[in-house]
């Protein structure tokens, strides 16, 4: 009997330096591939890799966060934290996919969007929001796979998709565990507690009906057999794209609307007339 992995163990695995990243997936899965660069407005952001390739004979747009494996590459790729120009490069590729009727694959692996003065000045919130709006209406199938960390709006900016898949030891959260602990308890060292309390593992998200499927990993994590994990993920992604390709666009868009429309935890109570006067009974 193995001890089950804790949420914090999974956070560690999801951040493992040898864990396969977006460019590894592209290398293993694509028969042909070209990376495109820049948002045509300001710069090229290396924290997001975007391009067009072919998998199983099908041309696809692939967009993913990219972390580095050493300090130098991590500096260049900003630890996988995109700036507005990164999201706007993704936006350009979303439009590109729609124009040429290509399905889109998004690979999610970010601690979150870049929090800096320059990103704020160039509209980080707006860049994420615009992408969410564009994916909501995109007239082509779009599938995402969380390959590592799915951190907050920074992940969602390429994550509003017809199908959401997660690797077994990946995580997806409203804010990275350190940030969650800092916001909730003003103590980022409580990150392991936040990881547990906030239910961020693939299994948690499947239980909450937020994601569609979990891709198994080898014992100890994807890095122990990267190629096999990537191929297994590739099969699942292309299987979903085939199914979505068969749908008329109007059905595809209606299903996407419904998928997100029902997300949330609410109940109905007797209508609260006003916030004035004496407190109501909130049973």
Binding site for another protein (CB under 8 A): 113, 115-117, 119-126, 128-130, 132-133, 135-137, 152-153, 156-157, 160, 172-175, 179-180, 182-185, 193, 197-200, 205, 208, 210, 256-257, 260-261, 263-277, 279-280, 282
Find the shortest distance in angstroms from Cβ 260 to another protein: 5
Residue 79 C-beta: closest distance to another protein, Å: 11
- Nearest Cα neighbor of 252 from 143, 140, 133 is 140
C-alpha span between 38 and 258 (Å, rounded): 33
Q: Cβ closer to another protein: 226 or 256?
A: 256
Neighbours of 229 (CB within 10 A): 25
DSSP state, residue 66: -
Question: Of 31 and 187, which CB lies nearer to another protein in the complex structure?
Answer: 187
Minimum separation from the CB atom of position 201 to another protein (A): 11
Distance CA(160)–CA(130), nearest Å, equals: 12
Rounded to whole angstroms, the Cα distance separating 224 from 140 reads: 34
CA dist 86 → 37, 91, 154, 216 (Å): 9, 9, 10, 30
Nearer to another protein, 211 or 230 (CB): 211
Virtual torsion, Cα 89, 94, 95, 97, nearest 10 deg:
120
Closer to another protein by Cβ: residue 1 or 117? 117
- In whole angstroms, the minimum distance from the beta carbon of 262 to another protein comes to 8
* Dihedral angle of Cα 135, 235, 239, 137, to the nearest 10 degrees: 0
Strand boundaries in 11-96, DSSP class E: 32-36, 48-55, 58-65
Residue 240: closest CA among 176, 158, 163: 163
Minimum separation from the CB atom of position 126 to another protein (A): 4
| Pairwise CA distance, residues 77 & 84, whole Å | 14
CB of 248 or CB of 270, closer to another protein: 270
Closest approach of Cβ 135 to another protein, in Å?
Answer: 8
Nearer to another protein, 24 or 178 (CB): 178
CB 208 to another protein: min, Å: 7
Please identify, using beta-carbon distances, which residue of 18 and 249 lies nearer to another protein: 249
Which is closer to another protein, CB of 72 or CB of 267? Answer: 267
Question: In angstroms, what is the minimal distance from the CB of 41 to another protein?
Answer: 12
Residue 36: other Cβ atoms inside 10 A: 15
């Amino acid at each position: 009997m193995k001890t089950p992995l804790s949420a914090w163990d999974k956070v560690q695995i999801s951040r493992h330096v040898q864990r396969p990243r977006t460019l590894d997936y592209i290398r293993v899965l694509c028969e042909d591939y070209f990376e495109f660069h820049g948002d045509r407005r300001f710069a090229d952001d290396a924290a997001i890799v975007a391009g067009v390739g072919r998998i199983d004979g099908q041309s696809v747009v692939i967009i993913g966060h990219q972390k580095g494996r050493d300090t130098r590459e991590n500096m260049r790729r900003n630890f996988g934290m995109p700036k507005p120009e990164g999201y706007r490069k993704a936006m350009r590729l979303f439009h590109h996919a729609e124009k040429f009727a290509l399905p889109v694959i998004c690979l999610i692996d970010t601690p979150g969007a870049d929090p800096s003065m320059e990103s704020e000045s160039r509209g980080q919130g707006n860049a994420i929001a615009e992408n969410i709006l564009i994916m909501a209406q995109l007239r082509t199938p779009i599938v995402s796979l969380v390959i590592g960390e799915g951190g907050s709006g920074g992940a969602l900016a390429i994550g509003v998709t017809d199908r959401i898949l997660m690797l077994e030891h990946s995580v997806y959260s409203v804010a990275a565990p350190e940030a969650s602990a800092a916001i909730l308890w003003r103590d980022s060292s409580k990150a392991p507690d936040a990881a547990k309390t906030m239910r961020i593992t693939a299994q948690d998200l499947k239980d909450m009906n937020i994601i569609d499927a979990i891709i198994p990993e080898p014992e100890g994590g994807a890095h122990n057999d990267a190629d096999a994990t990537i191929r297994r993920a590739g099969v699942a992604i292309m299987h979903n794209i085939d199914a979505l390709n068969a749908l008329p666009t109007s059905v595809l868009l209606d299903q996407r609307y419904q998928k997100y429309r029902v997300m949330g935890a609410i109940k109905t109570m007797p209508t609260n007339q006003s916030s004035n006067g004496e407190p109501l009974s909130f049973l």
